[in-house]
A and B are shown apart, each in its own frame.
Chain A
Amino acid sequence: ETGVTQTPRHLVMGMTNKKSLKCEQHLGHNAMYWYKQSAKKPLELMFVYNFKEQTENNSVPSRFSPECPNSSHLFLHLHTLQPEDSALYLCASSQDSRRRGRLAKNIQYFGAGTRLSVL
């Protein structure tokens, strides 16, 4: 265990369902991330949160809605997904060095992921 826990590990949902993915980190980090990992595609960064504030949204469709209530928890709310959204969704966390104002070395620790299937 790396200290980043994702639930559920597997999720099957219909296109009209609403579900949420949960990520929790026990590493004392202040930055959290959502990635999408599809077959035959690179890992795609979806969202970045620093100190609970969203700082990156890489052109993600609005059917994905992130929520970061505190620096230890991150959610991804899903609604009216499409079959092409089926993928492994990975959460990661890191210690943001932004406030140190120097060139950063950002080690991101990943969770085990949620395998999502949209029918």
Chain B
Amino acid sequence: GENVEQHPSTLSVQEGDSAVIKCTYSDSASNYFPWYKQELGKRPQLIIDIRSNVGEKKDQRIAVTLNKTAKHFSLHITETQPEDSAVYFCAASVDNYGQNFVFGPGTRLSVLP
């Protein structure tokens, strides 16, 4: 079955710096890759996603890149702010309808003022 790894497990950056979180997946058939943000004590919320037919997607300070050949995808956050502090989860969808998600273990991002 699909296996999703995520690195680093914890990441601390200074406010204003960039943060990069990388995920790798094992199943070459995976075709949809969402990123979820979970603030302390709150529910996971989708922040950005990418399909396998696209290499990069941007939304303001957040971008995701996908390398299908290498089977990895990354989340990039620029100009980090304290409110970006949270746990970030990547996921890979292993079915064609984008329902059966396998999540990575998460990255705890701390943005230091």
Contact count A vs B, C-beta below 8 Å: 75
Could you tell me if A43 and B89 are in contact, using CB atoms closer than 8 angstroms?
yes
Q: Which residues of A contact B106 (CB under 8 A)?
A: 42
Could you tell me if B31 and A110 are in contact, using CB atoms closer than 8 angstroms?
no
Q: Does B96 contact A (CB under 8 A)?
A: yes
- Which of A4, A41, A96, A104 interacts with B105 by CB under 8 Å? A41
Q: Does A113 contact B (CB under 8 A)?
A: yes
Q: Contact residue range for chain B? A: 20 to 34
Min C-beta distance of A82 to chain B, whole Å: 22
Could you tell me if A110 and B45 are in contact, using CB atoms closer than 8 angstroms?
yes
Within 8 A of B (CB), among A1-48: 2, 4, 31, 33, 40-45, 48
Could you tell me if A56 and B45 are in contact, using CB atoms closer than 8 angstroms?
no
Within 8 A of B (CB), among A37-87: 40-45, 48, 50, 55-56
CA distance A31 to B98 in the complex (A): 11
Q: Does B112 contact A (CB under 8 A)?
A: no
Could you tell me if A107 and B49 are in contact, using CB atoms closer than 8 angstroms?
yes
Given contacts A31-B99, A103-B51, A104-B99, contact A90 B32 (CB under 8 A): no
